[in-house]
Structure 1
Amino acid sequence: MRKRWPRIRIVILTAYGEFEYARQAIELGVDNYLIKLAQTPEQILDACRKVAEEIEQEMDVDQKLEMRRKLEWEKEWTRKRQWTERLVDDDGSTHVRAIPEEWFEGVAQASYLTGLTIGWRVPEGSEQAELTEEELIQLQRQVGEVLEQRLDQRMLGEGNRMVMLPIRQSRLCLLIGSKQLLESFKMNQLALAALEALKDFAPVKSFIHVGPVRELGKQPLTIKQIADGLREGLDGLAAYFYKPDSAIVGKHSSTFRRFDEEQIREWIAAVVKAMLREDAEAFQESVSVITKLYNPQVHPEDLLSMTRQMFHPGFVKLPASVVERLNGIDWKRGRIIVHGGKK
């Protein structure tokens, strides 16, 4: 740790009070060695505060400014995530009406608007496959930082402006505004540059949707246009479920079939009934309406939502091998296509 982060401070908090352990810790140069049972919560916090103050005293002005800049950036990133979350899920009840002017400065005054929506998945079997929700959000933040550095003003081109919006846990939307019509060649360049930047996060596999260019004219950017762009980008990335080998999954909005809720309930009931009766023929017949290929294709959200309901442990008792297979599917919102590919 010291080789990688020379300025790091180490405080050991342990239940082991043996002197030999403490002696070894002192030889290694730890900043404090605290015995759990001998410390109050406040004493533990005081020890951490003391070390933090020592770190700050050793920092020069540039380091302090950089640390504060990063903290502010992370706070703003969290606010963006919360704002886009409400916007994407808005059904008219959350009343997301205001556009934060400080984020959309330049983009709001553009004549043309388009977007790159970037997603990624963590391959099964890799160390990163078991990331917690907080670690996924941290990864998203790191991806955002790298893209901001790589897709700078020189890469965007004169007269173009960009705002980066995090969506859920593993999606980013880059809204790009321009005074002049954006050419397809330029958008492809930006898409390839973004994919190249994401190679830094191997083995994470990334994919991208290039949205259509829309003319705003002299009308100001509206909250509806932003929301429509975000949803369109997410639907575009959903196509990756069917095309797992394509890095750029589509340049236009994908059209998916959405099932009627009543129809879904009937199908689920038929499948569960067949499983409870252990009727293989009825089971095959009832799931065939879901597994067959449609044109247009079924939205992955619907497919995975139905699967989750059909195989809910409250309905049916499944063999351990099946449960293990189902556990490999991540049902969390925003990660429904992490293990996408074949149905």
Structure 2
Amino acid sequence: MEKMKILVVDDEQIVREHFAEQIPWEEAGFLWMGAAINGQEAIAMMERELPHLVLTDITMPIMDGLEFAQYVKTRWPHVRIIFLTAHDEFAYAQRAVVLGAKNYLLKMGLSQEQVLQACKAVAEEIQGDWMKEDLHNRRIEQQRQEEWTARNQLIQRMVSEPASATSDSMRQINEWIPFKGSYCSVISVGWDWYWVFHENSLAEEAFEHMQWLAGEALEQREDFAETSIQVAVFPYRNSRLTILVTCPMQRGYAFFQFALHEFVRYGLEKTREIVKSDCFVFVSAITSQMEQVAKQIAEGQARLQDYFYSGKAVMANQDGMIEPEPEPDSVERLEQIARMTKSLHNREWREFMTMVEQLTTLRDPAQSSDFLLAVARGVLENGMKVPEPHKKSLRMRLELVNTWQAYCHWWELAVDYLAIPSTLFEQKNAVRREIAVICGLIANRYNEDLSIADLADAVHLNPAYVGQLFKQETGEYLSDYISRIRMHKAKELLGKTELKIYEIAQAVGITDYRYFCKMFKLMVGVTPTEYKRSR
């Protein structure tokens, strides 16, 4: 619990020294801030640091205690005041109560116990207020999160199933922003967070918070209140917003058109500032028909997919866009996922990499970004056997893919996580099944004390023969391959965690710290410490 900060205001030096030196503030759970000679000096001190409780004399030069208390009550109403005075008069006590004083103590014969008892009573009251305020803030935050989630789910339904966007959905939206007698436009905004996540590895909660901050800033633009323009923001995925802007029809179409143009400019600038990334936006036509708004919501998010290839920041029509080919049906998508998943399960690396290459080769006409992302998502969830932290990272990155470049990079990273040796898919002939199984075991158990004998036993071969076979099939010694995979994982941990170097050595299956450092320097070219510092 935070300690209560105490400030004393009294023009008598002996009183100030008594409170500073004779009262055991720290033992009683308080923090002594200091003492002021009069109200004016106390205000100057409070400008620098605000106390929770002020004990002040009444009769003082320059600014007396009553005048000081009036100022504090007006400017800092949460600061509590206890009056210290030699006056045992009803008029003073009555005025002190009016000014919100929490107690009225006579300085004559005042003991330590009386001072601390009075301060503790006020401290308990303050802590009670804190608890109430904290509970109130938690309720508000919970309501905000529930509403934000409800908005997200609503837009998810309207985008994924536009045909089923019923009047009920629009009635629900109408609760947040009224349509009757208004013009409306739907603005769809997205931003490219893929590279931000790749370089900083921020938690998902951080992205959600920045998305909410952007929405909050756009909804609360102050100058719109004067023009009767209203804004409601709905989140979509982790890096998108659907923004509904309405304007009373009596303000005129031309007025709204101009205001909308200004809002788009402002919205892009503000969103970039908050999410710290490039943004792209699609602006729908202005309409006065509610049923059109539902279609525009789905259309807006669909049109943001144009950014996947075009990279245009502002889109309001199709001129100059790369036209994707028609969306493949769900059967074709499922078949593609099944083929890639099967190749992974069977360790058919060459076949798998051929399909990855097909997905990451730009076509004319271009493949639908929805199709490409759906295939990646299906293969990730159903075919990739990687440690859960890696799968979680790939899942988060995929949610942030908004460009062709990011999509290709995602597959590079996925292949890297699968630890497929490049020599395996560069060969003309498929690698033997036993070698594929060994590579899979190493990828999943690199952090264990693996021996060639253990790996040979797993594929029912002689240890000496396994080493020869691995070199013959891959062009790499088995022990070197194990070390390479371990150093690859070590580089990831050095770049993305705060683990100590000896902890990283153990995490990749090497118990000898010195051997780990020597091996890392040999294979990476720098020491683990130098590598970590360079990140």
Report how far residue 56 of structure 1 moved: 6.6
Amino acid at match of 2:317: H
Question: Distance in 1 between the 2:156 and 2:338 partners?
Answer: 32
Structure-2 residue corresponding to 1:55: 130
Q: 1:70 to 1:251 in 2, by over 3 A?
A: same
Structure 2-normalised TM-score?
A: 0.42
Structure-2 residue corresponding to 1:9: none
One of 383, 389, 395 as aligned partner of 1:330: 395
One of 306, 328, 331 as aligned partner of 2:375: 306
Report how far residue 160 of structure 1 moved: 4.2
Report how far residue 193 of structure 1 moved: 0.9
Question: Distance in 1 between the 2:357 and 2:138 partners?
Answer: 56
Paired residue secondary structure (2:394): coil
Structure-2 residue corresponding to 1:132: 204
Amino acid at match of 1:84: I
One of 214, 221, 246 as aligned partner of 2:290: 221
One of 81, 86, 92 as aligned partner of 2:152: 81
Question: Distance in 2 between the 1:185 and 1:132 partners?
Answer: 37
**RMSD of equivalent CA atoms:** 4.7
One of 278, 285, 305 as aligned partner of 1:238: 305
Question: Distance in 2 between the 1:286 and 1:114 partners?
Answer: 42
Write out aligned runs for 1:102-251 (5 A): 102-105=175-178, 107-110=179-182, 112-122=183-193, 123-125=196-198, 127=200, 129-133=201-205, 135-150=206-221, 152-153=223-224, 158=227, 160-178=229-247, 179=249, 180-181=252-253, 187-201=260-274, 204-216=276-288, 220-222=289-291, 225-243=292-310, 246=312, 248-251=313-316
Write out aligned runs for 1:245-260 (5 A): 246=312, 248-252=313-317, 256-257=324-325, 258-260=327-329
Unpaired stretches in structure 1, ≥5 consecutive residues: 7-22, 30-48
Question: Distance in 1 between the 2:385 and 2:141 partners?
Answer: 49
Moved more, 330-339 or 141-150: 330-339
Is residue 162–residue 298 contact of structure 2 (8 Å, CA) maintained in 1? Answer: no
Structure-1 residue corresponding to 2:60: none
Report how far residue 205 of structure 1 moved: 0.9
Write out aligned runs for 1:96-107 (5 A): 97-98=168-169, 99-100=171-172, 101-105=174-178, 107=179
One of 288, 293, 316 as aligned partner of 2:362: 293
Is residue 287–residue 293 contact of structure 2 (8 Å, CA) maintained in 1? Answer: no
Based on CA coordinates, which of the two structures has the bigger radius of gyration? 2
Question: Distance in 2 between the 1:28 and 1:126 partners?
Answer: 43
Report how far residue 174 of structure 1 moved: 1.6
Amino acid at match of 1:263: E
Report how far residue 207 of structure 1 moved: 1.3
Question: Distance in 1 between the 2:198 and 2:396 partners?
Answer: 18
Structure-1 residue corresponding to 2:336: 267
Is residue 272–residue 279 contact of structure 2 (8 Å, CA) maintained in 1? Answer: no
Cα offsets for 1:112-147 (capped at 9, x unmatched)? 4322212234403555x43234x4433322212212
Paired residue secondary structure (1:124): helix
Paired residue secondary structure (2:190): strand
Is residue 267–residue 287 contact of structure 1 (8 Å, CA) maintained in 2? Answer: no
Cα offsets for 1:159-184 (capped at 9, x unmatched)? 64433223344322222234344587
Is residue 151–residue 193 contact of structure 1 (8 Å, CA) maintained in 2? Answer: no
Question: Distance in 1 between the 2:404 and 2:391 partners?
Answer: 11
Paired residue secondary structure (2:232): strand
Paired residue secondary structure (1:341): helix
Identity among equivalent positions (%) equals 21
Unpaired stretches in structure 2, ≥5 consecutive residues: 6-25, 33-123, 409-535
Moved more, 299-308 or 77-86: 77-86
Is residue 121–residue 339 contact of structure 1 (8 Å, CA) maintained in 2? Answer: no
Is residue 300–residue 336 contact of structure 1 (8 Å, CA) maintained in 2? Answer: no
Moved more, 248-257 or 206-215: 248-257
Question: Distance in 1 between the 2:363 and 2:126 partners?
Answer: 61
Structure 1-normalised TM-score?
A: 0.61
Report how far residue 197 of structure 1 moved: 1.4
Q: 1:102 to 1:119 in 2, by over 3 A?
A: same
Report how far residue 303 of structure 1 moved: 0.9
Is residue 307–residue 403 contact of structure 2 (8 Å, CA) maintained in 1? Answer: no
Amino acid at match of 1:330: R
Cα offsets for 1:65-120 (capped at 9, x unmatched)? x9998876665444433433333344767966251334222x3422x432221223
Structure-2 residue corresponding to 1:34: none
Is residue 330–residue 339 contact of structure 1 (8 Å, CA) maintained in 2? Answer: no
